[in-house]
Amino acid sequence: MRGLSNAGDTEQTMKLPDTVPASFSPGFLSLLLSLLLFAGCGGKQDDPLEKTLRIAVIPKGTTHEFWKMVHAGAIKAERELNSAGAQKVEIIWKGPLKEDNTEQQINLVRTFVLQGVDGIVLAPLDKTALVSPVREAAARKVPVVIFDSGLDAEVGKDFATYVATDNYRGGVLGAKRLGEVLGGKGKAILLRYQVGSESTMQRENGFLDTMKKEFPGIELISTDQRAGATEEQAYRKSQNLLTRFKDEVNGIFCPNESAAAGMLGALRQAGLNGKIKFVGFDASEKLVQALGKGDIDGLVLQNPINMAYLGVRSVIDHINGKKLDDYVDTGVQVATPENMNTPQMKELHSPDLSKWLDN
């Protein structure tokens, strides 16, 4: 044990507060450490297979449909492990509301480590800012699995494994789809996401490299604008881009759900939906409906349920002493109006989350 009693012990286990402070004061840390030391007195060492393993799953945000699918995948892993009878697992799901609160995510990692969770599955909001708290977790023997977005740290030392989409390939597929629907010619825009997100940076790089290499007849007229963390921010940025380039742009690529949703709203508001070719990334009900109507020409799809499922299974395997690969590729495909209703694609863009989530 690491200073806290477990579900099977007689001591009271600390609970994570519903509200996480934006920053830790010295007084808060002192109080928390004192409580942890008190709770840990007299604890016994447990066999991982005989105790309930408390696994914290920390997403980048909790509002986008993508993260709801991630939540479902974590719960799927929890239920399967518990029903198998070999391992008891409790998933603790908590993350920032929006994908721009890096400080809150840092504090969540540190709080869970101080609570003595048995493992953490983390989607870093920032590839450098989360390095220190992850290394602090490693120093306290709390294993971390990184998923969805990479971290500038050493796999096998600072964290156990990286479970994610091949995001560069996702950008390549987005470029190929946009190049195809444009017929290899015209003018295109890349609306980037936000600074610090390793996953979307890789998608943007894959898109740009492929456009330059395979579609020399397509001119990239804007590649330096960023959508921001929310759909509302992306909508405003998209309006600005369309105001400037609406008379010349033929195609647009957005590298994540909120950027794509904001651009979709701006295209519709300007009456340009279906007129400008548009490829997005990730799925939501709004984006999938737009794909069916022809307002979107392609959606690059990840498998967020599988990503979280494998993230949880990986941290459990690590705790139980199994050797992990450095990287687990969870797959990426492109949905189009032509193939979107196949069973394989429907499972990716419109899975039944009610099997795993209450609402």
When mean pLDDT is compared across 31-35, 122-126, 206-210, 307-311, the lowest value belongs to 31-35
Q: pLDDT tens for residues 219-258?
A: 999 999 999 999 999 999 999 999 999 999 999 999 999 9
Instruction: Fill in the amino acid letter for 209.
Output: D
Instruction: Judge whether 75 and 83 are in contact, CB under 8 Å.
Output: no
By C-alpha distance, which of 305, 312, 300, 306 is closest to 339? 300
**pLDDT above 70 for 2:** no
pLDDT at 51: 87
Q: How would residue 85 be classed by pLDDT, with cut points 50, 70 and 90? A: confident
Q: Match 């998933």 to its residue by tokens.
A: 91
Q: Match 């949905």 to its residue by tokens.
A: 335
pTM here is 0.83
Residues 6+ apart with CB under 8 A from 49: 86, 87, 320
pLDDT at 49: 61
CATH number of 26-164+304-325: 3.40.50.2300
Tell me the pairing of strands 186-192 and 298-301: unpaired
What percent of the chain has pLDDT above 70? 86
pLDDT at 348: 97
* Topology, domain 167-301: Rossmann fold (3.40.50)
Scanning the chain, the segments in alpha helix (DSSP H) are 26-40, 65-84, 102-115, 131-139, 167-181, 198-214, 231-245, 257-269, 285-293, 304-319, 343-349
Q: pLDDT tens for residues 137-187?
A: 999 999 999 999 999 999 999 999 999 999 999 999 999 999 999 999 999
The rounded distance, in Å, linking the Cα atoms of 315 and 149 is: 16
Q: Where are the domains of the chain?
A: 26-164+304-325, 167-301
